[in-house]
A and B are shown apart, each in its own frame.
Chain A
Amino acid sequence: MILLAPLFLLGLFAIALPIWLHRMNFSDPPSQPFSSVRLMRQSEQIASTEQKLRYLLLLAARILALLILAFLFAQPLFLTNSPLVSATEQRHNLIVLDQSLSMTAPDVWQGALDKAEARIEAMQNFETAQIIGAGSEIRLVTEVTADKGELSQALNRLAPEYVSLDYGQIVSTLDEIAATNGNGDSQDAIPTQIYFISDAQASNLPVRFSDLIPSRANGLELDIVGSPAQVFNWSVSASYDRDKVVANVVSHNGPARQMQVDLLVNGEIRASQNLDIPASGSALATFDELALELDETRLEVVLNSVNPDALVADNRFYITANSLEALSVLILAADPSLQDTLFLDTALRSIAAPNIETDLMYGGGSVNFALDEYDLVVVSDIASLSEGVTEALRTFAARGGNLLSIAGPITQSAGEIELTGHNFVDAVSLDASDSQGLLIQQPLHGAVSEFSGAINAQVYQASELELLEGDEVIASTNNGYPWLVEHSLGLGRTLIVTQSLLPAATDLSVAPEFVPLLRSWMNYLGGAGELPDSFETGEKIQVGIDVAANRSAPVQQVFLPNGDPLLSLSQQGQVQAVQFQMPGIYGLQTTRGEHLVAVNTPTIESDLTPISDALIAQWRNLASVQEVRTAEAIGSVSGGQTTSLKSIENWLLPLLMLIILIESVLGNAHLKVRREIAR
């Protein structure tokens, strides 16, 4: 048996605790004199024995649970024997190249290719292989083949990418591939060996060391390239805040140097600074009072490093100074002079972020406005809309337009919402004594993101909206009537407020919560605040249609740093996610205009510190156990056995659950006695 994390066995000391506790309780009960035990003699011994037995079982269950828990953390692997792989049988190799950014260090990638080539050359005639690239994704570059020429040529199609790796995820995926020999067929899987060619960067290690050990492949051989211990690297990162850019230059294992840092705005140098960077330390450069114009949104910090700087890609850091266009909101009202409409208009105009521009229109007549010009539409009383406007809104929503629909007094008396197909139960007027408060039912919903628990307002009129399939109640009145509902209407987002905002129906429109609540609704419906300003290469962004929510994603198109659109027209309706592969400033086309995002190389790739020798030795030792045994067996007697590692986690976990269950039952039985006495 091999323990991947033997230090966790120290947890076995915890067994002392239940033993100590039980000893306290289980030591012979305190002896005390009593006048006569004649009346107790016969049954008490039996009861006491039962109790002792139950107590021993409880102790055993607790000790066993702790034992298993400690072993689970220690991650035991058992060596099991399996029939020997004959020298004449087929053997498969997965030749995997690390494509992370750190592989761009001088000579490293070429070294990796050379090692892969050597491995291909060393293949026996009964062996097959596949070339696999481990970059932004695990890519099978070739099919399973024994053709060395094809394998060598495939190496030329690989190159380092601007991504970082997690060796644990890589090993796990490769393990799956090994189980099926890369062809999806696990039935006739043949022994498969993984050759992982990497620079063994410490920052790419997984959280759990055990993730580095394949369980289904016959073994993993780690081929390390480069000598990162002697490589120096400097990197730069930066942040922008209120006309000020702060750049941070870090020396990764490098000696003290003086370097120049440039700030570029829209591609032109705006300012430069010389920095004294200490050995293996960092230094800050601050560029303030930039007074950027509205169109000066693409910022770039460039570190003019000196040789030898291992990585060039991390010497450039991109930042954006986004200024989103104002949110354009159309308010459709039954009577623009009514109080609720005025409250809405005034409150929306008072919102500072997002900046909102409103147009107030009469919704009961003909459609004399272009809905597509607006980011979202607010309807102050849904039933007041004319048939033409209702139809136009339906089309607007179907195309991805966003709606805030309020059930005003006309809707309440109509008893239905024609636009969405909802019906109301009769409205009831409440006096001040039985007015209803507002409770948030979905605290994580974006429409109430600024609130928690309740909205501090009262409703004086109650009418129950009969929910339709797919409706989500975000907030309700105290008596359980839905108050704020998200309804699925086309590709857009639709929020329904089920009560009027007139002062006769609620005090919300004059409460301090009104503006923050409207701001939350505008942010949610307008899609603001959902898009970050920066990404790392390798990350993805959702585009087109949000399949999970069945509505439009905020991003419709992505523009590359050179300005070319990433998605063709045909792709826009099909592609659901786009990966940022190169650093630079990308443009995202959203429903509210273009949003710039800065894409930079992963910061963890800049640190080229290698995995320690001891850890590598342990990794090699554990990961290659099968390989060593197999190799010995191949060189010895045919008909022998090979050894493989088997995890027993799958057995221990159910056992632990069972023991915990037993412990609970016994513990309860023990406590029952005390409860009876207390009564």
Chain B
Amino acid sequence: MSTRLLKPEVLQGLANLDLIARSAIEGFLIGSHKSVQHGFSQEFAEYRAYREGDDLRFVDWNVFARTNRTYLKQYQGETNTHLTILMDASASMGFASGKVTKYEYGSYLAASLAYLSKRQQDAIGLMIFNDKVVDFRPPTSRSEALPSLLHALENAEPGQGTDFGNPVRDCCELIQRAGIIAVISDFLDHPEQILDELRPLRGRGQDVILFQVLDPQELNLKLDRAVQFEDMESGKTVNVDPTFAQKEYSARILEHIAEIKEVANSTAADHMVLTTDEPLDVALRNYLLHRQRRG
């Protein structure tokens, strides 16, 4: 049951992202035989001065009455970190050789990560971008954060080109606190350009994890005759013959992935390659490890 619910084609049949995320995470947790909430108590930890954007519900009004200052009560396991998901919604993410597009798979992953984080009382945020920022939901631990985020994911559609510069710049400006930034993209641009655009994140002390979502056909291109491929972002066309696809393309895509990994290493980011036909548990487990390392 748990494994089945982690399969993308099964998740695709579910009604909405909320249900998808719930199913994926519950399946994952059952499968892992381990409560993620273990060690995360709801015990009082400390007071913290109110900052713009904080949820007013957590203001300790007793302290305010006594001191005329606004403090927030903080509990252990809560708001230790926040997760911001940078979701690539460029046109290339709309590619699918099977049933699930890369964007859909990325959405399932983003929703699952958000759901998981929400269960851990982390603040969650989302930035959907292509060659510009399409939607931005700042990280928040408010209860409506998750539905809002899922709604944004569902409403977005892949289109336009890819530019990491804009979302990274906005992230640096809008997200002051250090946290986890999960970038979900196919990273098919030039590795040097990606490196340049992602480097500022590391400067802000963010933990970055790059989820590189690829279609199985992008990894193992097989043709039985010449095909004219049209670039989904640039619109350029190129005729590809089967010999090249079989022999040279495989080497090129592996080399590209290696370069992206190098980019990740140089920015102290984690890098994971996911294909749209593999279950989500690998990605989720990786995320949790990352999360635990962060403490």
Report whether chain A binds chain B. yes
Q: When chains A and B are docked, how far (Å) is the Cα of A379 from the Cα of B224?
A: 69
A395 to B190, CA, bound (A): 98
Contact of A48 among B186, B240, B249, B253 (CB under 8 A): B240
Cβ contact within 8 Å between B92 and A44: no
Inter-chain contact B238/A44, CB cutoff 8 Å: yes
**Which residue of chain A has its CB nearest to the CB of B101?**
A35
Whether the pair B188, A31 counts as a contact (CB closer than 8 A) is no
- Distance between Cα atoms of A39 and B249 in the complex (Å): 7
Asked if A29 is an interface residue, CB under 8 A from chain B, the answer is yes
Nearest-neighbour CB distance to chain A for B222, whole angstroms, equals 7
Chain B, 199-253, CB within 8 A of any chain A CB: 215, 218, 222-234, 236-244, 246, 248-249, 252-253
- Given A34-B230, A44-B238, are A673 and B95 neighbors across the interface (CB < 8 Å)? no
Q: Are A43 and B228 in contact (CB under 8 A)?
A: no
Is B232 within 8 A of A28, CB to CB? no
Q: Could you tell me if B241 and A44 are in contact, using CB atoms closer than 8 angstroms?
A: yes
Cβ–Cβ < 8 Å partners of B137 in chain A: none
Most buried by A among B229, B242, B243, B246: B229
CB distance from A280 to the nearest CB of B (A): 64
CB 8 Å contact bits of A1-37 with B (1 = contact, 0 = none): 0000000000000000000000000001111111111
Give the Cβ gap from B66 to chain A, nearest Cβ, in Å: 60
Q: Which residue of A lies closest to B186 (CB)?
A: A35
Contacts A28-B228, A32-B227, A677-B246; is A37 near B95 (CB within 8 Å)? no
Would you call B102 an interface residue if the criterion is a C-beta within 8 Å of the partner chain's C-beta atoms?
yes
Q: Is A45 an interface residue (CB 8 A)?
A: yes
User: Which residue from B190, B230, B237, B241 sits with its C-beta under 8 Å from A673?
Assistant: B241
- Chain A residue contacts of B92, Cβ below 8 A: 35-36
Q: Which of B223, B249, B253 contacts A677 (CB 8 A)?
A: B223
In the complex, which residues of chain B have a beta carbon less than 8 angstroms from the beta carbon of A40?
Answer: 229, 238, 240, 244, 249, 252
Interface size on A, residues (CB 8 A): 24
Q: Check if B256 is an interface residue, CB within 8 A of chain A.
A: yes
Instruction: Check if A29 sits within 8 Å of B249, measured CB to CB.
Output: no
Given contacts A29-B225, A39-B256, A48-B226, contact A34 B95 (CB under 8 A): yes
Any chain B CB within 8 A of the CB of A41? yes
Check if A51 sits within 8 Å of B222, measured CB to CB: no
**Cα distance, A40 to B224, chains bound together (Å):** 17
Give complex CA distance A33, B227 in Å. Answer: 10
The answer to the question of A242 belonging to the interface, with a C-beta cut-off of 8 Å to chain B, is no
Proximity string of chain B (163-207) to chain A, C-beta cutoff 8 Å, 1 when within and 0 when not: 000000000000000000000001011100000000000000000
Query: Cβ of A41 and Cβ of B236 under 8 Å apart?
Result: yes
In the complex, per-residue mask of A123-139: 1 if CB is within 8 Å of any chain B CB, else 0: 00000000000000000
Contact flag A36-B242 (CB < 8 Å), given A29-B227, A30-B228, A31-B230: no
Interface residue A47 (Cβ < 8 Å from any Cβ of B) = yes
CB-CB under 8 A from B241, the residues of chain A are 44, 47-48, 51, 673
Given A36-B92, A40-B244, A677-B223, CB of A31 within 8 Å of CB of B238: no
**Chain A proximity of B46: nearest CB distance (Å):** 48
- With contacts A48-B241, A673-B242 taken as known, whether A35 is within 8 angstroms of B232 at the C-beta atoms is yes
Residue of A nearest to B252 (CB): A39
**A676 contacts partner chain B, Cβ-Cβ < 8 Å:** yes
Q: Are B188 and A36 in contact (CB under 8 A)?
A: yes
User: In the complex the two chains form, is A676's CB within 8 Å of B244's CB?
Assistant: no
**How long is the Cα–Cα vector from A35 to B103 in the complex, in angstroms?**
12
Q: Does A157 contact B (CB under 8 A)?
A: no
Q: Which residues of B contact A677 (CB under 8 A)?
A: 222-224, 242, 246
Our pick among A33, A44, A48, A676 for the contact of B230 (Cβ within 8 Å) is A33
Write out the residue numbers on chain A whose beta carbons fall within 8 Å of the beta carbon of B230.
31-34, 37
Kindly state the separation between the CA atoms of A36 and B231 in the bound complex, as whole angstroms. Answer: 5
B232 A34 Cβ-Cβ under 8 A: yes
Query: Out of A36, A44, A45, A676, which one reaches B233, CB within 8 Å?
Result: A36
Does the CB pair B244–A47 fall under 8 Å? Answer: yes
Q: How far is the CB of B251 from chain A (nearest CB, A)?
A: 10
Tell me, yes or no, whether A208 is within 8 Å of chain B by CB: no
In the complex, which residues of chain B have a beta carbon less than 8 angstroms from the beta carbon of A673?
A: 241-243
| Contact between A45 and B239, CB atoms less than 8 A apart | yes
- Tell me if A35 and B239 are in contact (CB < 8 A): no
Distance A38 CA – B186 CA, assembled complex (angstroms)? 13
CA–CA, A44 to B230, complex, Å? Answer: 13
User: Within the complex, what minimum Cβ distance (angstroms) separates A65 from chain B?
Assistant: 25
- Contact in complex: B228, A31 (CB < 8 Å): yes
Which of A33, A36, A44, A674 lies in contact with B240, CB distance below 8 A?
A44
Provide the bound-state CA to CA distance between A28 and B229, in Å.
Answer: 11
Which chain B residues border A39 with CB–CB below 8 Å? 188, 249, 252-253, 256
Cα distance A45–B241 in the bound complex, in angstroms? 9
Contact B218 A37 (CB under 8 A): no
Interface residues of B (CB under 8 A from A): 92-93, 95, 102, 186, 188-190, 215, 218, 222-234, 236-244, 246, 248-249, 252-253, 256
List 8 contacting pairs A-B, 8 Å CB cutoff, sorted by A: A29-B239, A31-B227, A35-B233, A40-B244, A44-B238, A44-B241, A48-B239, A677-B246
Additional 18 contacts, C-beta under 8 A, given A35-B92, A677-B242: A29-B226, A32-B229, A34-B230, A34-B231, A35-B93, A35-B95, A35-B102, A35-B232, A36-B231, A37-B237, A38-B231, A41-B236, A43-B248, A44-B238, A48-B239, A673-B243, A674-B224, A677-B246
